[in-house]
Amino acid sequence: MSLNWTFLLQDDTSSLWKETFREFVDFKANGPSSVGVDLRLHGFDHVYGLPEHADRLQLRDTRDGEPYRLYNLDVFAYKLSSRLGLYGSVPLLVSHRPDRTLGLFWLNASETFVNVHYSMRTQPHTDVHWLSESGVIDCLVLLGPGPQQVFSQYAQITGFQALPPLFALGYHQCRWNYDDEADVKAVDAGFDRHDIPYDVIWLDIEHTNGKRYFTWDPVHFPEPAALQRHLDTKNRKLVVISDPHIKVDPDWSLYCEARDGGHFIRDRQGQIFKGVCWPGESSYLDFSRPDTRAWYSSCFSLSKYKGSTPSLFVWNDMNEPSVFYGPEQTMPKDAVHYGGWEHRELHNLYGFYQHMATFEGLITRSGGSQRPFVLSRSFFAGSQRLGAVWTGDNVASWKYLKISIPMLLSLSVSGIVFCGADVGGFVEDPDPELLVRWYQAAALQPFFRGHAHKATKRREPWLFGEQVTAAIRSVIKQRYCLLPFWYTLFHQAHTSGLPPLRSVPLWVEFPKEEDTFTVDDQYMIGGALLACPVTEPGASEVQVFLPGCGEVWYDVQSAVAFKGGRTLFLPVTLDTVPVFQRGGSIICRSTGSGSCTADLCHFPLTITVALNLQGVAEGELYLDDGHSFSYRDTKAFSLRRFSLKSGHLPCSFHRHLSMLSSVSVTCCNGGKTQSSE
């Protein structure tokens, strides 16, 4: 092989390393720096992961179009069935075959493209080509051999899911924007009046004084601390938004503090970068700087954040970062961060670092005793250890409801397990049927929040007639009754890396059943529940695949048993959604929902035992105080494991606290019902 070199002699080299995109010019001070690698996965023809894309769960062969792009962008009402980048990026690809699961983790935060080529010739294989704009080749292979091992290996590298406070698993009510304090109190009272539990009400950007974060509108929110205390008397919380851009205002002390402290990103000439976002002209915090993160964290202290209380939590939005009128509505790649790093090198990490600073700020605010809750729109590998994410600006249509399921499953496969989609769609107005079906689906997903654009009609659950109100009330109450189970699953994710939302049934529970490899409209919740949301308008019947030849499944409403390994066609009404409990599992529920998660401690628990064909079942229950780090620092928790064999239900204790009152036991297989203390 011979190499031919061509040398270019030119007096002016300023134009050698630059690219033009529309009216934008990207100057590459370090020249070309792309890195890539080709990998062949022998024997694999199903691969998953690489969020975030509004597409099916199994990755497509990219020879028929664009590669998968990993580049965090603010995309309003994003296109469906697309491989273009959305709000977050996780460069993890998971491949599976009946006897093996394998993970590929490409640790690179610059713009990345991934091509996937399937081949079925003689020996099946999948070729994966990674190409990143900059960085170094740092590819980790997760050898499994099974799904659980891959999840655990990935969590050991990037971090385990943070254990959220219990209230974060309840229902969240949000809108851009609730008008004023009276509006917030009226919505809060509406949930009580209509007997609908909820835990958190949210305020978008309009609550601030001129889009200055860490402030309050003096006319519409003159007494924010009193508002929070009002909610706190009902054990409810307030979440406010905090974006990464800071309004350029020399008369605002926080802006001056950030400017004088050197906390802003610079342009390539060394001046403070200025872009446009909600406040108008803005500068952007450089969260790659450790001292900037520490400073930002301090802004959440009760002494500094005037009007805040311990019951206030945070929502990080627009942190891709979003820069109006910028290239692709984001920051120029030649902007300069701490240490001289160009923005292109760490673009996909920007939101992760803001999320980190906010997370640490709330922990510090409590003196290290209380668990924080922070929602972030942008994310990267490792964001799971900081809180929750959501799928961004979706649309009130059946197609967006349907695509939300594989989007969340893809996040779950990639370690981002505390995830959800805006109930009802953020953009446009849902009809009553769509709204009910969306509530039913979201109640069976980890993060459960209703949210809407300011241009939409109000959509609190009681505004669509009594039938709709009753249906929504029912699913939210069912969610609250199931929270002991959800909380136990999050403890498992926190300690083992195992996601609560188990992709398709194959991944963890049925690794040898190829019929499940492409299923992405139903999924397991833990190892015990199979959820089959209704995602078509006017549905009177749904198709449900019950995996597991030799298994038995029980309808959670009727307790009717069905054999696994077959497809059912089940009738549905507006009030019903198919959910099945797997034979061999034990699930703990609350006997009541109350008005918020704090009320759950007043209700006894019921244990539903679903026997398998061998007459055996097992499960576990995790409990702690639901809000502090005492479970970690002083081992103040209760973990009970249940196992039914030969008609007996012994209970073993890993650690025990007096957190349980009476527990009723129900057996789905015609066994006797008994109560125990």
* Interval 247-305: pLDDT, tens: 999 999 999 999 999 999 999 999 999 999 999 999 999 999 999 999 999 999 999 99
d(CA 316, CA 376) in angstroms, rounded, equals 5
Q: Which of 52, 181, 320, 513 is catalytic?
A: 320
Answer positive or negative: Cα dihedral of 193, 239, 444, 54.
Answer: positive
Q: Are 166 and 199 in contact (CB under 8 A)?
A: no
Name, in order, each residue with C-beta under 8 angstroms of 12's C-beta and a sequence gap of 6 or more.
none
Burial class of residue 249 in the structure, from the number of CB atoms within 10 Å of its CB (0-12 exposed, 13-18 middle, 19+ buried): middle
d(CA 637, CA 626) in angstroms, rounded, equals 10
d(CA 261, CA 281) in angstroms, rounded, equals 19
The DSSP code for 628 is B
3-class DSSP assignment, residue 586: strand
pLDDT for the residue numbered 123: 87
**CATH number given to 505-582:** 2.60.40.1180
Domain 585-676: which CATH number of 2.60.40.1180, 3.10.180.10, 3.20.20.10, 3.40.190.10: 2.60.40.1180
Q: Which of 217, 360, 393, 509 is catalytic?
A: 393
Q: What percent of the chain has pLDDT over 70?
A: 93
d(CA 132, CA 35) in angstroms, rounded, equals 5
Q: Is 61 a catalytic residue?
A: no
Task: Judge if the upstream peptide bond of residue 67 is cis by omega within 30 degrees of 0.
Answer: no
pLDDT for the residue numbered 654: 58
pLDDT for the residue numbered 263: 99
d(CA 188, CA 459) in angstroms, rounded, equals 14
Provide the token pair at 353.
Answer: 């670092």
pTM for this prediction: 0.94
* Residue 170: HSE in the Cβ half-sphere, 13 Å Cα cutoff: 25
pLDDT for the residue numbered 514: 79
d(CA 73, CA 584) in angstroms, rounded, equals 44
Q: Range(s) for CATH 2.60.40.1760 in the chain?
A: 33-158
Residue 35 CB neighbours (<10 A): 18
Q: Which of 55, 317, 334, 422 is catalytic?
A: 317
Residue whose C-alpha is closest to residue 375's, from 444, 423, 313 = 313
pLDDT for the residue numbered 108: 99
Domain 33-158: which CATH number of 3.40.640.10, 2.60.40.1760, 3.60.15.30, 3.90.1300.10: 2.60.40.1760
Q: Are 664 and 675 in contact (CB under 8 A)?
A: yes
- Enumerate residue ranges in the chain where pLDDT < 50: 1-13, 503-505, 656-659, 661, 670-677
* Residue 601: HSE in the Cβ half-sphere, 13 Å Cα cutoff: 10
Residue 279 one-letter amino acid? P
Q: Is 286 a catalytic residue?
A: no
d(CA 596, CA 623) in angstroms, rounded, equals 17
The greatest distance separating any two alpha carbons of the chain, rounded to the nearest whole angstrom, comes to 90
Q: Range(s) for CATH 2.60.40.1180 in the chain?
A: 505-582, 585-676
List, in sequence order, the alpha helices (H) in 37-137: none
Bridge partners, 185 (sequence order): none
H/E stretch holding 506? helix 505-508
pLDDT for the residue numbered 498: 83
| CB burial string 450-481: b at 16+ within 10 A, e below | bbbbeebeebbbbebeeebbbbbbbbbbbbbb
What's the start-to-end Cα distance of the chain, in Å?
79
Residue whose C-alpha is closest to residue 299's, from 261, 272, 335 = 261
Name, in order, each residue with C-beta under 8 angstroms of 186's C-beta and a sequence gap of 6 or more.
none
Name, in order, each residue with C-beta under 8 angstroms of 271's C-beta and a sequence gap of 6 or more.
none
3-class DSSP assignment, residue 145: coil
d(CA 440, CA 479) in angstroms, rounded, equals 9
Q: Is 138 a catalytic residue?
A: no
